[in-house]
């Protein structure tokens, strides 16, 4: 097979040099200092994946991304610095059709790859498999939030009847938005792992909270699960469920070793759900590359939980769902738009 052709668009010569050194052993790398140069190079060779910085002179990355998605969609991975401004821009890029986000790798030419550099390689491989198309501009991405019922089911003395745990990776940000937007304000507690770098998950949670009737936020250690609350695992932290006494469930965060090359890992969350929840659990595995979550979902099914997997037709990348189906972990295989209804059916709603 021909190596992947990656176009790196970044105004920093140091970043372009580091990216070339990092990716060049297994991919064909072309670089451009700005989108105008990138467009000229794309005329002679169309890349498989574009790795895009968002803050550049002459033309910003968001404008370039809009043009790509309107004219000839190509999988785009946003490669961004870990700042609050960058994280908000990245959320807009995901709305516009970027398939994934990675932090700029902390690597210098001649040094060994860091965890973030390894994550970049994995993300580009996944993006190359992604199904992308023109973004429908008529869809609202920032409609007014529904009223929050923040005091709903606030009695923490009773464990909710069902707990929902969700895992997603490449392409997951949009299906998660769709999923949470379909949930009522009194939905069962939801704990989510979306493969995403640290600092970006807080912005992602804020974006989801704007349109969901649920209270959506980045998880903090000790958060108690309650109806109407959805927690997003922080980037670079595993999340697990713990029982506090007989009637309270909360979350714990860990910075232990990567699992399936990820932290947070879906398998870590699902395995803890299998142990802690048994048949109280509902596990959902969405689009993403690799196998993270498949074995944990099987553990949940074996423990009596209801398990749901996104189908191939609506997955941006079918790797994680496919792995779960092959293991026999999936009780239900449904389209992205039907996941929320399938979850609520399992809760008796």
Sheet arrangement for strand 306-310: 215-218, 229-232, 190-194, 163-168, 281-285, 306-310, 332-334
Q: In the Cβ-directed half-sphere of 122, how many Cα atoms lie within 13 Å? A: 23
Are 163 and 241 spatial neighbours (Cβ–Cβ below 8 Å)?
yes
Q: 144: left (phi > 0), else alpha (psi -120 to 50), else beta? A: beta
Catalytic residue among 195, 236, 238, 311: 195
Residue among 56, 2, 59 nearest 36 (CA):
59
Q: What is the bridge-based pairing of β-strands 229-232 and 215-218?
A: parallel
Helix 13-23 and helix 115-128: axis angle, to 10°?
70
Report the C-alpha gap between 320 and 290 in whole angstroms.
5
Report the C-alpha gap between 266 and 239 in whole angstroms.
9
Report the C-alpha gap between 24 and 20 in whole angstroms.
5
Catalytic residue among 80, 169, 212, 315: 169
Report the C-alpha gap between 32 and 309 in whole angstroms.
39
Residue among 274, 342, 345 nearest 305 (CA):
274
Q: 282: left (phi > 0), else alpha (psi -120 to 50), else beta? A: beta
Are 233 and 252 spatial neighbours (Cβ–Cβ below 8 Å)?
no
Residue among 281, 287, 283 nearest 295 (CA):
283
Q: Is 169 a catalytic residue?
A: yes
Sheet arrangement for strand 76-80: 27-32, 4-9, 49-52, 76-80, 100-103
Catalytic residue among 87, 292, 311, 315: 292
Active site residues: 169, 195, 292
């Amino acid at each position: 097979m021909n190596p992947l052709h990656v176009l790196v668009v970044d105004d920093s010569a140091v970043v372009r040099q580091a990216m070339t050194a990092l990716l060049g052993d297994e991919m064909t790398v072309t670089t451009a200092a700005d989108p105008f140069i990138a467009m000229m190079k794309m005329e002679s060779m169309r890349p498989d994946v574009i790795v895009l910085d968002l803050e550049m002179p002459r033309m910003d990355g968001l404008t370039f991304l809009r043009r790509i998605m309107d004219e000839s969609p190509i999988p785009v991975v946003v490669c961004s610095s870990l700042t609050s401004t960058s994280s908000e821009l990245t959320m807009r890029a995901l709305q516009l059709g970027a398939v994934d986000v990675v932090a700029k790798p902390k690597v210098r030419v001649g040094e060994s790859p860091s965890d973030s550099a390894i994550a970049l390689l994995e993300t580009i491989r996944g993006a190359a498999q992604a199904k992308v198309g023109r973004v429908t501009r008529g869809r609202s991405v920032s409609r007014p939030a529904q009223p929050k019922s923040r005091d709903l089911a606030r009695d923490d003395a009773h464990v909710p009847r069902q707990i929902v745990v969700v895992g997603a990776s490449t392409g997951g940000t949009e299906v998660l938005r769709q999923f949470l937007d379909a949930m009522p304000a009194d939905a069962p507690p939801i704990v989510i792992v979306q493969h995403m770098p640290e600092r970006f998950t807080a912005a992602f949670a804020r974006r989801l909270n704007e349109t969901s009737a649920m209270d959506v936020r980045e998880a903090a250690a000790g958060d108690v699960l309650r109806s109407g609350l959805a927690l997003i695992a922080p980037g670079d932290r595993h999340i697990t469920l713990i029982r506090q006494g007989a009637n309270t469930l909360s979350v714990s965060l860990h910075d232990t070793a990567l699992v399936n090359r990820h932290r947070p890992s879906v398998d870590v969350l699902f395995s803890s759900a299998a142990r802690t929840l048994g048949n109280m659990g509902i596990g959902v595995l969405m689009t993403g590359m690799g196998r993270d979550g498949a074995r944990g979902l099987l553990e949940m099914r074996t423990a009596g939980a209801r398990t749901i997997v996104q189908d191939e037709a609506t997955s941006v990348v079918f790797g994680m769902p496919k792995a779960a189906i092959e293991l026999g972990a999936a009780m239900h295989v449904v389209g992205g738009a039907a996941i929320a209804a399938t979850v609520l059916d399992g809760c008796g709603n």
